[in-house]
Amino acid sequence: MTSITATPAATPDYAAIKQRQQATWASGDFAIVGTTLQIVGEMLAEAADVRAGERVLDVAAGNGNATLAAARRFAEVTSTDYVPALLDKGRRRAEAEGLDVKFEVADAEALPYEAASFDVVLSTFGVMFAPDQARAARELLRVVRPGGRIGLANWTPDGLIGRLFKIVGAHVPPPAGLRSPALWGTEPHLTALFGPQARELRVERKTFPFRYRSAAHFVQVFRDWYGPTLKAFAALDPAGQASLEREITALLNEMDIGGGRGLVAPSEYAEVVITVA
Protein backbone atom coordinates (compact mmCIF):
# COMPACT_ATOMS: atom_id res chain seq x y z
CA MET A 1 0.00 0.00 0.00
CA THR A 2 1.22 3.50 -0.75
CA SER A 3 2.45 5.22 2.39
CA ILE A 4 0.41 8.09 3.80
CA THR A 5 2.25 11.36 3.93
CA ALA A 6 2.09 13.25 7.20
CA THR A 7 2.73 16.61 5.57
CA PRO A 8 -0.34 18.41 4.24
CA ALA A 9 -0.04 20.00 0.81
CA ALA A 10 -2.25 22.96 1.69
CA THR A 11 -3.78 24.58 4.75
CA PRO A 12 -7.29 23.16 5.08
CA ASP A 13 -10.33 25.12 6.21
CA TYR A 14 -10.77 23.21 9.47
CA ALA A 15 -14.00 24.98 10.45
CA ALA A 16 -15.71 24.11 7.18
CA ILE A 17 -14.40 20.55 7.30
CA LYS A 18 -15.64 20.09 10.85
CA GLN A 19 -19.10 21.31 9.89
CA ARG A 20 -19.26 18.75 7.09
CA GLN A 21 -17.92 16.04 9.39
CA GLN A 22 -20.64 16.71 11.95
CA ALA A 23 -23.27 16.29 9.24
CA THR A 24 -21.57 13.10 8.08
CA TRP A 25 -21.47 11.47 11.52
CA ALA A 26 -25.04 12.59 12.22
CA SER A 27 -26.24 10.85 9.04
CA GLY A 28 -27.27 7.23 9.06
CA ASP A 29 -27.01 5.59 12.48
CA PHE A 30 -23.42 4.99 13.60
CA ALA A 31 -24.63 3.03 16.64
CA ILE A 32 -25.60 0.12 14.39
CA VAL A 33 -21.93 -0.28 13.51
CA GLY A 34 -20.59 1.14 16.77
CA THR A 35 -22.18 -1.36 19.12
CA THR A 36 -20.37 -4.20 17.36
CA LEU A 37 -17.08 -2.61 18.52
CA GLN A 38 -17.86 -2.78 22.25
CA ILE A 39 -15.09 -5.26 22.98
CA VAL A 40 -12.52 -2.67 21.88
CA GLY A 41 -13.74 -0.29 24.58
CA GLU A 42 -13.47 -3.02 27.19
CA MET A 43 -9.94 -3.92 26.13
CA LEU A 44 -8.91 -0.26 26.08
CA ALA A 45 -10.26 0.30 29.61
CA GLU A 46 -8.13 -2.63 30.75
CA ALA A 47 -5.05 -1.43 28.88
CA ALA A 48 -5.41 2.04 30.43
CA ASP A 49 -5.92 0.43 33.85
CA VAL A 50 -9.12 2.34 34.64
CA ARG A 51 -9.75 2.23 38.42
CA ALA A 52 -12.86 2.72 40.49
CA GLY A 53 -13.36 6.36 41.45
CA GLU A 54 -11.09 7.79 38.76
CA ARG A 55 -12.30 10.73 36.71
CA VAL A 56 -12.56 9.51 33.12
CA LEU A 57 -13.34 11.51 29.99
CA ASP A 58 -14.45 9.75 26.80
CA VAL A 59 -13.68 12.02 23.83
CA ALA A 60 -15.59 11.65 20.53
CA ALA A 61 -17.42 8.89 22.36
CA GLY A 62 -19.93 8.06 19.64
CA ASN A 63 -22.49 5.68 21.12
CA GLY A 64 -20.36 5.17 24.22
CA ASN A 65 -18.29 1.98 24.01
CA ALA A 66 -15.37 3.27 26.11
CA THR A 67 -17.84 5.22 28.25
CA LEU A 68 -19.69 2.06 29.27
CA ALA A 69 -16.47 0.12 29.78
CA ALA A 70 -15.12 2.75 32.20
CA ALA A 71 -18.46 3.11 34.02
CA ARG A 72 -18.63 -0.66 34.48
CA ARG A 73 -15.35 -0.30 36.37
CA PHE A 74 -17.00 2.23 38.72
CA ALA A 75 -15.12 5.23 37.35
CA GLU A 76 -16.70 8.72 37.32
CA VAL A 77 -17.28 9.08 33.59
CA THR A 78 -18.01 12.08 31.39
CA SER A 79 -18.96 11.07 27.85
CA THR A 80 -18.58 13.67 25.09
CA ASP A 81 -19.22 14.00 21.37
CA TYR A 82 -20.09 16.82 18.99
CA VAL A 83 -23.11 14.91 17.63
CA PRO A 84 -25.93 15.05 20.21
CA ALA A 85 -27.82 12.14 18.63
CA LEU A 86 -24.86 9.84 19.28
CA LEU A 87 -24.73 10.90 22.92
CA ASP A 88 -28.42 10.05 23.18
CA LYS A 89 -27.61 6.50 22.07
CA GLY A 90 -24.91 6.21 24.74
CA ARG A 91 -27.21 7.70 27.38
CA ARG A 92 -29.90 5.09 26.67
CA ARG A 93 -27.34 2.30 26.90
CA ALA A 94 -26.05 3.61 30.24
CA GLU A 95 -29.56 3.97 31.61
CA ALA A 96 -30.39 0.40 30.57
CA GLU A 97 -27.48 -0.83 32.69
CA GLY A 98 -28.10 1.55 35.59
CA LEU A 99 -24.74 3.26 35.06
CA ASP A 100 -24.21 6.82 36.34
CA VAL A 101 -22.59 8.75 33.46
CA LYS A 102 -22.51 12.44 32.61
CA PHE A 103 -23.15 13.14 28.90
CA GLU A 104 -22.05 16.48 27.42
CA VAL A 105 -21.75 17.89 23.90
CA ALA A 106 -18.11 18.83 23.33
CA ASP A 107 -15.66 19.35 20.47
CA ALA A 108 -12.49 17.23 20.70
CA GLU A 109 -10.48 20.24 19.50
CA ALA A 110 -11.86 22.59 22.16
CA LEU A 111 -12.78 20.59 25.25
CA PRO A 112 -14.74 22.70 27.79
CA TYR A 113 -12.76 21.50 30.81
CA GLU A 114 -10.02 22.95 32.95
CA ALA A 115 -6.47 21.68 32.72
CA ALA A 116 -5.69 18.45 34.59
CA SER A 117 -9.41 17.74 35.22
CA PHE A 118 -9.24 13.99 34.53
CA ASP A 119 -7.23 10.96 35.58
CA VAL A 120 -7.86 9.13 32.33
CA VAL A 121 -8.91 10.24 28.84
CA LEU A 122 -10.19 7.60 26.39
CA SER A 123 -11.23 7.55 22.74
CA THR A 124 -12.12 4.56 20.57
CA PHE A 125 -11.98 5.31 16.85
CA GLY A 126 -13.14 8.84 17.64
CA VAL A 127 -10.59 11.59 18.18
CA MET A 128 -8.56 10.23 15.26
CA PHE A 129 -11.14 11.83 12.95
CA ALA A 130 -10.62 15.38 14.28
CA PRO A 131 -9.47 17.46 11.29
CA ASP A 132 -6.85 19.49 13.23
CA GLN A 133 -4.91 16.57 14.64
CA ALA A 134 -2.27 18.54 16.53
CA ARG A 135 -4.91 20.66 18.23
CA ALA A 136 -6.92 17.59 19.27
CA ALA A 137 -3.80 15.97 20.73
CA ARG A 138 -2.99 19.12 22.69
CA GLU A 139 -6.50 19.10 24.16
CA LEU A 140 -6.20 15.49 25.30
CA LEU A 141 -2.89 16.29 26.96
CA ARG A 142 -4.24 19.48 28.53
CA VAL A 143 -7.22 17.96 30.32
CA VAL A 144 -5.44 14.93 31.82
CA ARG A 145 -3.50 15.36 35.06
CA PRO A 146 0.27 14.81 35.28
CA GLY A 147 0.81 11.08 35.69
CA GLY A 148 -2.62 10.36 34.19
CA ARG A 149 -3.24 8.20 31.14
CA ILE A 150 -4.58 8.68 27.63
CA GLY A 151 -5.99 5.52 26.04
CA LEU A 152 -6.74 5.42 22.31
CA ALA A 153 -7.92 2.84 19.80
CA ASN A 154 -7.03 3.99 16.26
CA TRP A 155 -7.38 2.22 12.92
CA THR A 156 -4.06 1.65 11.13
CA PRO A 157 -3.40 2.56 7.48
CA ASP A 158 -2.85 -1.04 6.36
CA GLY A 159 -5.76 -2.66 8.19
CA LEU A 160 -9.18 -3.28 6.70
CA ILE A 161 -10.69 0.05 7.75
CA GLY A 162 -7.54 1.97 6.80
CA ARG A 163 -7.71 0.42 3.34
CA LEU A 164 -11.45 1.11 3.18
CA PHE A 165 -10.70 4.80 3.82
CA LYS A 166 -8.21 4.73 0.95
CA ILE A 167 -10.75 3.20 -1.45
CA VAL A 168 -13.42 5.73 -0.47
CA GLY A 169 -10.91 8.58 -0.77
CA ALA A 170 -10.02 7.51 -4.31
CA HIS A 171 -13.69 7.84 -5.32
CA VAL A 172 -14.56 10.90 -3.20
CA PRO A 173 -11.31 12.77 -2.47
CA PRO A 174 -10.96 14.40 0.97
CA PRO A 175 -10.39 18.16 1.28
CA ALA A 176 -6.99 19.30 0.05
CA GLY A 177 -4.30 19.14 2.71
CA LEU A 178 -6.32 17.13 5.22
CA ARG A 179 -4.21 14.51 6.94
CA SER A 180 -5.47 10.94 6.92
CA PRO A 181 -7.08 9.90 10.24
CA ALA A 182 -5.22 6.58 9.88
CA LEU A 183 -2.00 8.41 10.76
CA TRP A 184 -3.18 8.04 14.38
CA GLY A 185 -2.54 4.34 13.91
CA THR A 186 1.19 4.85 13.25
CA GLU A 187 3.87 5.10 15.92
CA PRO A 188 5.90 7.93 14.34
CA HIS A 189 2.84 10.17 14.14
CA LEU A 190 1.76 9.35 17.68
CA THR A 191 5.26 10.12 18.89
CA ALA A 192 5.19 13.46 17.08
CA LEU A 193 1.79 14.33 18.59
CA PHE A 194 2.35 13.12 22.16
CA GLY A 195 5.99 12.21 22.64
CA PRO A 196 7.29 15.50 24.06
CA GLN A 197 4.72 15.36 26.90
CA ALA A 198 4.68 11.61 27.42
CA ARG A 199 6.49 9.84 30.23
CA GLU A 200 5.62 6.62 28.43
CA LEU A 201 3.96 5.88 25.09
CA ARG A 202 2.95 2.28 24.47
CA VAL A 203 1.50 1.08 21.18
CA GLU A 204 0.23 -2.45 20.65
CA ARG A 205 -1.14 -3.77 17.37
CA LYS A 206 -4.46 -5.56 17.74
CA THR A 207 -7.18 -6.80 15.42
CA PHE A 208 -10.92 -6.48 15.57
CA PRO A 209 -12.82 -9.07 13.48
CA PHE A 210 -15.80 -7.61 11.66
CA ARG A 211 -18.44 -10.34 11.61
CA TYR A 212 -21.27 -10.02 9.11
CA ARG A 213 -23.42 -12.44 7.14
CA SER A 214 -21.41 -11.80 3.98
CA ALA A 215 -19.39 -9.15 2.19
CA ALA A 216 -22.64 -7.91 0.64
CA HIS A 217 -24.19 -7.60 4.11
CA PHE A 218 -21.20 -5.54 5.35
CA VAL A 219 -21.42 -3.22 2.34
CA GLN A 220 -25.16 -2.74 2.81
CA VAL A 221 -24.85 -1.93 6.53
CA PHE A 222 -22.00 0.52 5.95
CA ARG A 223 -23.78 2.06 2.97
CA ASP A 224 -27.01 2.56 4.92
CA TRP A 225 -25.75 3.49 8.39
CA TYR A 226 -22.02 4.42 8.55
CA GLY A 227 -21.80 8.16 7.84
CA PRO A 228 -18.57 8.31 5.78
CA THR A 229 -19.56 5.50 3.41
CA LEU A 230 -23.19 6.63 3.30
CA LYS A 231 -22.08 10.09 2.18
CA ALA A 232 -19.54 8.67 -0.28
CA PHE A 233 -22.14 6.55 -2.05
CA ALA A 234 -24.58 9.48 -2.08
CA ALA A 235 -21.98 11.69 -3.78
CA LEU A 236 -21.48 9.29 -6.71
CA ASP A 237 -23.51 8.57 -9.82
CA PRO A 238 -24.78 5.00 -10.38
CA ALA A 239 -21.62 3.93 -12.21
CA GLY A 240 -19.44 5.36 -9.45
CA GLN A 241 -21.54 3.65 -6.80
CA ALA A 242 -21.20 0.31 -8.57
CA SER A 243 -17.43 0.76 -8.84
CA LEU A 244 -17.09 1.67 -5.16
CA GLU A 245 -19.20 -1.33 -4.14
CA ARG A 246 -17.05 -3.66 -6.27
CA GLU A 247 -13.82 -2.39 -4.73
CA ILE A 248 -15.08 -2.63 -1.15
CA THR A 249 -16.43 -6.12 -1.82
CA ALA A 250 -13.09 -7.21 -3.29
CA LEU A 251 -11.28 -5.90 -0.20
CA LEU A 252 -13.64 -7.77 2.11
CA ASN A 253 -13.25 -11.00 0.15
CA GLU A 254 -9.47 -10.61 0.32
CA MET A 255 -9.55 -10.12 4.10
CA ASP A 256 -12.24 -12.73 4.86
CA ILE A 257 -11.07 -15.67 6.99
CA GLY A 258 -14.58 -16.99 7.65
CA GLY A 259 -14.26 -20.01 5.40
CA GLY A 260 -17.69 -19.50 3.86
CA ARG A 261 -19.52 -19.49 7.20
CA GLY A 262 -20.26 -15.77 7.39
CA LEU A 263 -17.82 -12.91 6.84
CA VAL A 264 -15.00 -12.68 9.38
CA ALA A 265 -12.72 -9.84 8.31
CA PRO A 266 -10.01 -8.79 10.80
CA SER A 267 -9.09 -5.11 10.89
CA GLU A 268 -5.85 -4.00 12.52
CA TYR A 269 -5.88 -1.14 14.99
CA ALA A 270 -3.39 0.45 17.35
CA GLU A 271 -4.14 0.26 21.07
CA VAL A 272 -2.33 3.24 22.53
CA VAL A 273 -1.67 4.10 26.18
CA ILE A 274 0.17 7.33 26.98
CA THR A 275 1.28 8.18 30.50
CA VAL A 276 1.54 11.95 30.75
CA ALA A 277 4.66 13.46 32.27
Tell me the pLDDT tens digit for each residue of 117-163: 999 999 999 999 999 999 999 999 999 999 999 999 999 999 999 99
State pLDDT tens for residues 102-115.
Answer: 999 999 999 999 99
- pTM here is 0.94
Mean pLDDT of 60-79: 98
Residue 53's pLDDT band (boundaries 50, 70, 90)?
very high
- 241-249: long-range pairs with CB below 8 Å, 24+: 243/171, 244/167, 244/168, 244/171, 245/219, 247/167, 247/171, 248/164, 248/167, 248/215, 248/218, 248/219, 248/222, 249/215, 249/216, 249/219
Q: Is residue 193 part of a domain?
A: yes
Asked if the structure places residue 26 within a domain, the reply is yes
Q: Are 156 and 163 in contact (CB under 8 A)?
A: no
In the structure, what pLDDT confidence band is assigned to residue 10 with cuts at 50, 70 and 90? Answer: low
Q: Please say whether the beta carbons of 40 and 158 come within 8 A.
A: no
Expressed as residue numbers, the domain containing 61 is: 14-162+172-208+268-276
Q: Is 109 inside a domain boundary?
A: yes
Q: Give 197-239 pLDDT, tens digit per residue.
A: 999 999 999 999 999 999 999 999 999 999 999 999 999 999 9
Query: Is residue 183 a part of any domain in this protein?
Result: yes
* Residue 191 domain flag: yes
Asked if the structure places residue 46 within a domain, the reply is: yes
The number of folded domains in the chain is: 1
Quote the Cα angle for 61-191-62, to 5°. Answer: 5
Domain-located, residue 143? yes
Gap between the Cα atoms of 104 and 123, Å rounded:
15
Q: Please report, for the domain that includes residue 130, its CATH number.
A: 3.40.50.150
In this structure, is residue 258 part of a structural domain? no
